[in-house]
Structures are given as structure tokens and as C-alpha cells.
A = this chain, B = another copy of it.
Amino acid sequence: MAPTRPRLFATPDEAQTAFYEAFERANLAAMMAVWAESDDIVCVHPQGPRLVGFEAVRESWMQIFANGAALRVRATEERRFDAQSVAVRAVVEQVAPVGENAPVSAICATNIYELTPNGWRMVVHHASPLADPAPAAEEPAPQGHTLH
């Protein structure tokens, strides 16, 4: 049963767990219960446009969930920055289709949560493909990121 009302998350980590659970289950109501109901939330899917505001963000997840096969998403290599009302989780997402041994894709994600009157909610999800730290064949620079 999909939750139809926002749930209250007592900690940023509860919100993040709910975010990835909703992602894996492709559950739009659960996903949007994680996000703050605000015109200022920001969501950037890998190689996607910058979406601002609850409706644009909701629409994007609806499309992702409509298109996609079920995914297994594991957040790794977390770096945390915590304040009383804002919390940052910078992670690497290891993404793989459920039930397959396909090679995972790796996504670099910056997740930001804010303490709202309705508990901790996501306000920013910025995701981009994780580049290989090893030199690419065509790119001799050791760290491969000379473009900003």
C-alpha cells in the first residue's frame, strides 16, 4: 500500500533510507513523501536538466518510474555534514537492475535534507554519472577533469 500522506522522518538518515527505498520500489507517493513541499527544491538526475520545485520534481520521478525496470540502489562512500536543521549526504550510488548480474552503474549524488515542520525532508538531489578515476584512454590528464 502506497502511503498517501507525507510521513515524518525523525532524522536525515531515516529520510535517506526512505528515499532509496522509494526509488527501488518505484513508488511515487513514497518518493514524494521524502521531498519537502517547496517551490525551491532542486533535483538533477544524471545528465538531466535542473528541476526546481515540487511539481517538476514529482513529474520527473513519475516518468522515471513509468519507464524503468526495478533497480537496486546502494549508497556507498558516504560523507556526512550535519547541522541542526540541514544535513548533507554525499554518496556514490551503485545501481543495478534487480535480479540481474549486470554491471552496476555508479552515480555520484549529493543529497541534502532540511528539518521542516513535518520532519526531515529532501531539498536537493544532485546526481551525475561517476567518472572513472583512472585516466581515460583519450585523456592523458591523471584526473581527467580539466573542464569545469
Give A residues with C-beta under 8 Å from B: 23, 40-42, 44-53, 55-56, 59-60, 62-64, 67-68, 71, 77, 79, 81-88, 90, 92, 95, 107-108, 110, 112, 114, 123-124, 126-133, 136, 139-148
Contact = CB atoms under 8 A, between A and B. Distances in A.
A85 B83 CA distance: 5
Q: Helix, strand, loop or mixed for chain A's interface?
A: mixed
Given A81-B112, A81-B114, A144 B53 contact: yes
Give the number of times this chain occurs in the complex, counting copies: 2
Contact of A110 (B52, B95, B110, B136): B110
A93 to B, nearest CB: 8
B128 A128 contact: yes
A17 B124 CA distance: 21
Contact of A88 (B59, B124, B132): B124
Given A42-B90, A90-B42, A112-B88, A49 B126 contact: no
A120 B71 CA distance: 38
